[in-house]
């Protein structure tokens, strides 16, 4: 139990592993930091309860029988965070590595690719439940399927694309937060003062939520709870790289109006969430830790507007031919901005330096929290911010009509923060288009295929940018530097949206033009459902899912249409070659949430490497592009 400032202990289930000298409540949590030549760099973190632990003769941590140095990186609420950083020399072929903390604690294994291999990559997002989810309707955990796939073909890294946990139960768990929510604008809610005890309680909340979820896979909402023990096993087995999104803080954080975001409680909430994100997801102490300057981080000397720390984007090699960028899209976010201009400059300077020095890298995976290519909802955003909706909002704030129509923070329409979060929101559209153009120029300059990963929206889909020609031709995919495939994989744990909503979004799927030479659309991937039944909605599949990315090492150039691996019923008109040096993207989609079998169904597509950027090999244009 953790003693909270308001005088009562917060009781919650904790995994107390107490076989040896340490009372471990979370960990090990494996983190992948990057490659230095043939040195694979990683770390493992443990959290221990001070009461009941003996630190006088600390157990020795070993990886492949080599000792790693102990680092104490933080203490909070009578608990201590310990980190071990280590390197593994990459061999000619894949290596199975065993690590262990003393003889009293269980050993774990992870896999390092061969020095000339690319990593087998697993990407996921939305790893938690919304506050009112009835978890009993989800009989299996997708993490069981992840670990089954790992046994068959080991994953070398897992990429967390945001919402690695859901912290929205702060709305009901903390007296200070529930009291603040009672104060609307007219009652001075924006000027609600916080005591030091209030700030400590926010800190304690995030500490507890992480200990529960990362320690034992436990979560409790308003109507149900869940325990998913395979998730902590994955953390100990699959080295991770993460960026965070809003639910790692609170729903919509950064996208509310400036006055709301600058309230003492929202700024304190953001800083507490950031502190434990740094610890549990990045493996870095919030203050005084030398790892904050690790070369994997891309930072500028400027704090975020509401979270008063610099953003930390991440660059890493994922094997010989794959570079990775995790763009921090939350620390600098406001309603009118996603990242500072200086951050984009720092990011592209780093990318150009890395790819110029290492011309063997042929792919760049860019990880964002929110999809950058997705059906538009600008009309709904404009309606919710128009003067015509003000009377409805006024009545909803006072409980006269439409309970739940407005949020409890600033009285705006509940869905508005989700719409404002999107790259296609009218406030972000120019920033988005400039970012896409810079990625295309980078691809052309460095002969690199750019692929953009995202989550957030609780369904599977694939956006796409490609060259558009007015003369009726189309650039062959393997020579089109503007071709960027944008898989959206979400959620691995949370509830999918209803089919009706996905069908409505599918009807918003239109061709969009960026300037005169780029067209944007959604790939027709999902012509049949997981039971092989034909679907009308070919672009968006509302089922729980995750994404597997691996290199094509024995491609024969055969063109394959994106879609389900188990069916020839594929309506997509674009085919992409199975070419050595390309990537294969495979969605693992839950077959049936009502069974305990945790079976998934595969839908896949190829991403060709980029040859001779800017050289336009003309092919017949598919009808849908015209």
Which pLDDT score, from 0 to 100, does residue 305 have? Answer: 97
The residue ranges of the chain whose pLDDT is under 70 are 1-19, 183-191, 376-420, 472, 565-573, 612-626
For residues 375 and 509, is the Cβ–Cβ distance under 8 A? Answer: yes
CA separation for the pair 326, 346 (Å, rounded): 13
The CA-based angle 296-463-441, given to 5 degrees, is 55
Q: For 50-195, list the strands marked E by DSSP.
A: 61-63, 66-67, 69-76, 79-89, 95-101, 108-112, 121-124, 157-160
Q: Based on DSSP, count helices (H) and strands (E) in the chain, helices before strands.
A: 13, 33
Q: How many CA atoms lie within 13 A of 495 on its CB side?
A: 13
pLDDT of residue 585: 96
- Give alpha helix (H) positions in 422-563: 429-446, 499-507
Strands (DSSP E) contained in 552-597 are: 559-560, 563-564, 576-577, 583-590
User: What are the residue ranges of helices labelled H in 139-195?
Assistant: 142-152, 170-173, 175-181
| Structural domains for the chain | 24-377+422-625 (3.60.21.10), 378-418 (no CATH)
Tokens of 351: 């990318």
Read off the pTM. 0.90
Q: Which two tokens stand for residue 579?
A: 């070419």
DSSP state, residue 147: H
**Beta strands 363-367 and 449-453: pairing type?**
parallel
Report which of 206, 279, 219 is spatially closest to residue 249, judged by C-alpha positions: 206
User: How open is the CA angle 449-451-456, to the nearest 5 degrees?
Assistant: 175
Instruction: Quickly list DSSP for 307-361.
Output: S-SB--EEEEE-BSSEEEEE---STT-BTTBSS-HHHHHHHHHHHHHHHHH-TT-
**Interatomic CA distance for residues 430 and 434, integer angstroms:** 6
CA–CA dist 550, 434 (Å, integer): 29
Q: How far apart are CA 371 and CA 387, in angstroms?
A: 29
Residue in the structure block whose two tokens are 């495979």: 586
Which pLDDT value is given to residue 386?
43
The residues pairing with 323 across neighbouring beta strands, listed in sequence order, are 317, 364
| Helical (H) or strand (E) element with 519 | strand 518-522
3-state secondary structure of 203: helix
Q: How far is CA 4 from CA 10, 199, 299, in A?
A: 7, 11, 34
pLDDT in the model for residue 172: 81
Pairing assessment for the beta strands 61-63 and 66-67 based on DSSP bridges:
antiparallel
Question: Which pLDDT belongs to residue 402?
Answer: 42
DSSP characters over 276-315: HHHHHTT---SSS-GGGG-TTEE--S-B-SSS-SB--EEE
- By CB atoms closer than 10 A (0-12, 13-18, 19+), residue 491 is buried
């Amino acid at each position: 139990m953790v003693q909270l400032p308001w005088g009562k202990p917060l009781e919650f289930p904790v995994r107390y592993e107490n076989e040896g000298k340490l009372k471990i409540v979370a960990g090990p949590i494996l983190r992948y930091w990057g490659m230095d030549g043939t040195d694979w760099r990683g770390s493992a973190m443990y959290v221990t309860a001070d009461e009941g632990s003996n630190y006088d003769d600390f157990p020795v941590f070993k990886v492949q029988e080599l000792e790693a140095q102990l680092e104490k990186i933080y203490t909070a609420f009578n608990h201590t965070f310990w980190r071990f950083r280590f390197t593994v020399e990459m061999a000619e072929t894949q290596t199975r590595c065993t690590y262990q903390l003393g003889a009293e604690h269980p050993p774990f294994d992870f896999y390092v690719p061969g020095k000339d291999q690319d990593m087998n990559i697993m990407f996921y997002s939305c790893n938690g439940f919304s506050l009112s989810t009835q978890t009993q309707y989800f009989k299996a955990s997708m993490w069981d399927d992840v670990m089954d796939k790992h046994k068959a073909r080991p994953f070398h890294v897992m990429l967390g694309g945001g919402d690695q946990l859901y912290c929205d139960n702060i709305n009901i768990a903390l007296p200070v937060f529930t009291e603040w929510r009672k104060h609307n604008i007219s009652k001075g809610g924006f000027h609600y003062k916080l005591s030091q005890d209030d700030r400590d309680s926010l800190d304690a909340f995030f500490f507890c939520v992480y200990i529960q979820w990362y320690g034992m896979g436990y979560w409790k909402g308003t109507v149900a709870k869940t325990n998913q023990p395979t998730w902590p096993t994955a953390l100990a087995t699959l080295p991770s790289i993460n960026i965070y999104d809003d639910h790692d803080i609170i729903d919509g954080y950064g996208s509310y109006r400036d006055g709301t975001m600058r309230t003492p409680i929202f700024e304190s909430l953001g800083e507490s969430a950031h502190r434990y994100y740094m610890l549990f997801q990045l493996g870095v102490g919030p203050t005084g830790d030398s790892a904050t300057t690790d070369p994997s981080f891309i930072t500028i000397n400027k704090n975020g507007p509401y979270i008063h720390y610099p953003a930390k984007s991440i660059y890493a090699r994922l094997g010989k031919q794959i570079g990775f960028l995790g763009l921090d899209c939350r620390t600098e976010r406001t309603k009118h901005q996603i990242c500072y201009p200086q951050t984009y400059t720092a990011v592209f300077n780093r990318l150009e330096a890395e790819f110029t020095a290492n011309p063997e890298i042929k792919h760049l995976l860019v990880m964002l929290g929110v999809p950058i290519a997705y059906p538009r909802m600008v009309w709904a955003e404009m309606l919710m911010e128009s003067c015509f909706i003000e009377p409805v909002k006024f009545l909803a704030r006072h409980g006269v009509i439409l309970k739940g129509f407005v949020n409890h923070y600033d009285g705006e329409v509940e869905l508005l923060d989700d719409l404002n979060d999107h790259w296609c929101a009218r406030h972000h559209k120019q920033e988005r288009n400039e970012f896409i153009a810079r990625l295309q120029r980078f691809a052309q300059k460095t002969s690199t295929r750019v692929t953009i990963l995202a989550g957030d929206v609780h369904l599977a889909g694939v956006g796409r940018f490609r060259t558009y020609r007015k003369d009726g031709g189309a650039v062959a995919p393997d020579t089109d530097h503007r071709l960027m495939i944008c898989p959206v994989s979400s959620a691995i744990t949370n509830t999918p949206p209803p089919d009706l909503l996905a069908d409505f979004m599918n009807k918003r799927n239109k061709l969009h033009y960026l300037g005169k030479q780029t067209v944007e659309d959604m790939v027709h991937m999902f012509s049949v459902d997981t039971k092989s039944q034909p679907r009308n909605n070919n672009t968006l599949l509302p089922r729980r899912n995750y994404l597997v990315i691996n290199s094509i090492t024995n491609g024969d150039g055969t063109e394959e249409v994106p879609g389900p691996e188990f069916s020839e019923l594929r309506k997509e008109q674009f085919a992409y070659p199975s070419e050595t040096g390309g990537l294969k993207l495979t969605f693992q989609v839950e077959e049936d949430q009502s069974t305990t079998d945790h079976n998934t169904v595969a839908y896949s597509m190829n991403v060709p490497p980029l040859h001779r950027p800017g050289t336009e090999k003309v092919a017949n244009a598919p009808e849908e592009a015209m």
